Amino acid sequence: MNKYALTAVAALFLAMTAPSFAFDAGVGLRAPNQATRISCDTHAEDDQAVCASKCEDAYLKDQQGWTADMSKIKSAKKACDDKCGCPENSKGL
């Protein structure tokens, strides 16, 4: 009975901690070097990130209208991201 309980505890512990290691590896792939990388992340505080955040906010606000013309909104978002120097933020549009 004890060996089954210990095995179950070990399996639960591994199942609980494995996702955290997988998530850390994913973060490392997205941001290889934090010290030298220019941030287009909309949650950072540098000027480029603030500009990208404003583009994202305007895109989300414009998207909420009932009669929103999505082609105009997407082109405006791409133009704004290009102006900010973050064209990768609108890559999936």
pLDDT tens per residue, range 27-70: 444 444 444 445 677 677 778 888 888 888 999 899 888 888 88
Domain with 84, as residue range(s), is 40-93
| 90 in the same domain as 61 | yes
pLDDT of residue 75: 92
In the chain, the number of structural domains is 2
- Both 18 and 48 in one domain: the answer is no
The per-residue pLDDT for range 79-89, each reduced to its tens digit, is 998 998 888 88
88 and 64 both lie in a single domain: yes
Structure tokens at 44: 């950072």
Is there a single domain that holds both residue 54 and residue 32?
A: no
DSSP the chain: -HHHHHHHHHHHHHHHHHHHHHHHHHHHHH-S-TTTPPP--TTS-SHHHHHHHHHHHHHHHHHTSTT--HHHHHHHHHHHHHHHT-GGGGTT-
Same domain, 90 and 53: yes
How much is the pTM? Answer: 0.54
Residues 50 and 82 in one domain: yes
**Of the candidates 44, 47, 46, 42, which has an alpha carbon nearest to the alpha carbon of residue 58?**
42
Residues 48 and 87 reside in one and the same domain:
yes
Q: What is the pLDDT of residue 38?
A: 52
Do 71 and 85 belong to one domain? yes
